[in-house]
């Protein structure tokens, strides 16, 4: 295992021929339940060796990149410790403090715990002098959006520096209810805030019952109503009677012309005039009923939902005869 001393000025250098043995110790410290993947282990071993070589050559940025890549293949807190050492030697106090804290959090029973915590205190004092302090925000599950005091900061686990005092944090993750918490950041000590997210259970709206029509009635079919047919019948009968009286009038006039007696001729002329008047009355009534039947036919065929009583109530008609002839009056609405 690449375990270097904490003091940057006195950092021990790993020997090249010990790299394989160091990695075997890292491999043996894998978290419980992890299945061995020979291909991943070979790649991680190569990355670890490259990181150790880069650290020895003081190429700290390259060493950090190699240790990060190896840690993604075989998660182990030892990589956090080595990354912290590299940042410490680079003079990046905030990043070194972040990885040392991660190492302590993940290895609470490490043999060098006291030494690492001592270095954490020293780095925290350096941040205190700058008027800031470090905080780490974690969530379960990880990968949630972090906002501190209403400002977006990153994704959990997130580590950053804030001014000491009271702060509020909001955690958001799709499929989970938003979680909010408040914390107090001390001047002399970093803070660790962990938030548990709860699944957001959305109420499923109940299905609306589909209305079922019992014995649905077919739409009404337009048809001519009995009253309309009756109007046609009365009109036809009246016109027929008018024609009969007209024939009778014509016969009476012929008889009056052929009559040799004055009295008989006058009687036939009176009969002819009476029949003419009666014929006109029946003709007027017949035409009026035929017209009425036509109007009702139009209403019957175009307003099938209108009740017959409504039709009758809407009609206003009258018939009259005078010395000059007969007439009919009709009022209604279409």
- Does position 284 have pLDDT exceeding 80, yes or no? yes
**54, two tokens:** 């880069």
**Across all residues in the chain, what is the average pLDDT?**
79
The neighbouring-strand residues paired with 322 are 325
Q: Give the pLDDT score at 33.
A: 46
Closest residue by Cα to residue 332 from 298, 281, 286: 298
Q: Give the pLDDT score at 23.
A: 60
Task: Give the pLDDT confidence of 182-205 residue by residue, as tens digits.
Answer: 999 999 999 999 998 998 776 556
Q: Give the pLDDT score at 273.
A: 81
Compute the chain's Rg from CA coordinates. 55
Q: Give the pLDDT score at 123.
A: 95
**49, two tokens:** 């060796």
Under 8 Å between Cβ of 198 and 176: yes
C-alpha to C-alpha distance for 190 and 148, rounded to whole angstroms? 16
Specify the 3-state DSSP secondary structure of 48. Answer: helix
Task: Give the pLDDT confidence of 208-262 residue by residue, as tens digits.
Answer: 766 665 566 666 677 777 878 887 888 788 788 888 888 887 887 777 777 767 7
**Range with lowest mean pLDDT among 69-78, 122-131, 199-208:** 199-208
Q: Give the pLDDT score at 96.
A: 95
Q: Give the pLDDT score at 303.
A: 66
- Does position 67 have pLDDT exceeding 80, yes or no? yes
**317, two tokens:** 């008609």
The 10 Å Cβ neighbour count of residue 7 is 12
Specify the 3-state DSSP secondary structure of 141. Answer: coil
| pLDDT (mean) for 310-325 | 56
C-alpha to C-alpha distance for 126 and 122, rounded to whole angstroms? 7
| pLDDT (mean) for 50-68 | 94
- DSSP notation for 237-290: HHHHHHHHHHHHHHHHHHHHHH--SHHHHHHHHHHHHHHHHHHHHHHHHHHHHH
| Most trustworthy range by pLDDT among 71-75, 106-110, 157-161 | 157-161
């Amino acid at each position: 295992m690449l375990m270097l001393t904490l003091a940057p000025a006195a950092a021990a250098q790993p020997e090249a021929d010990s790299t394989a043995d160091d990695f075997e110790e890292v491999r043996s410290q894998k978290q419980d339940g992890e299945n061995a993947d020979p291909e991943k282990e070979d790649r991680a071993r190569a990355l670890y060796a490259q990181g150790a070589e880069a650290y020895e050559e003081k190429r700290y940025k390259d060493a950090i990149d190699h240790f990060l890549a190896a840690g993604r293949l075989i998660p182990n807190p030892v990589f956090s410790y080595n990354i912290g050492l590299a940042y410490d030697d680079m003079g990046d106090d905030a990043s070194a403090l972040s990885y040392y804290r991660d190492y302590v959090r993940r290895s609470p029973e490490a043999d060098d715990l006291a030494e690492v915590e001592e270095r954490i205190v020293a780095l925290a004092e350096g941040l205190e002098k700058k008027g800031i302090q470090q905080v780490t925000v974690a969530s379960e599950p990880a990968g949630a959006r972090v906002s501190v005091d209403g400002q977006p900061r990153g994704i959990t686990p997130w580590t950053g520096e804030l001014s000491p005092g009271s702060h509020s944090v909001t955690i958001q993750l799709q499929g989970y209810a938003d979680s909010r918490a408040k914390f107090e950041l001390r001047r002399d000590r970093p803070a660790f805030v962990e938030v548990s997210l709860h699944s957001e259970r959305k109420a499923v709206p109940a299905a609306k019952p589909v209305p079922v029509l019992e014995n649905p009635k077919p739409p009404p079919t337009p048809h001519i109503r009995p009253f309309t047919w009756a109007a046609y019948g009365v009109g036809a009968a009246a016109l027929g009677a008018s024609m009969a009286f007209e024939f009778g009038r014509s016969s009476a006039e012929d008889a009056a012309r052929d009559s040799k007696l004055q009295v008989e001729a006058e009687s036939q002329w009176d009969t002819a005039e009476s029949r003419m008047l009666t014929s006109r009355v029946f003709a007027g009534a017949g035409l009026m009923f035929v017209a009425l039947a036509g109007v009702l036919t139009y209403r019957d065929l175009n307003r099938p939902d209108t009740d017959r009583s409504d039709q009758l109530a809407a009609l206003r008609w009258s018939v009259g005869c005078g010395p000059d002839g007969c007439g009919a009056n009709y009022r209604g609405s279409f």
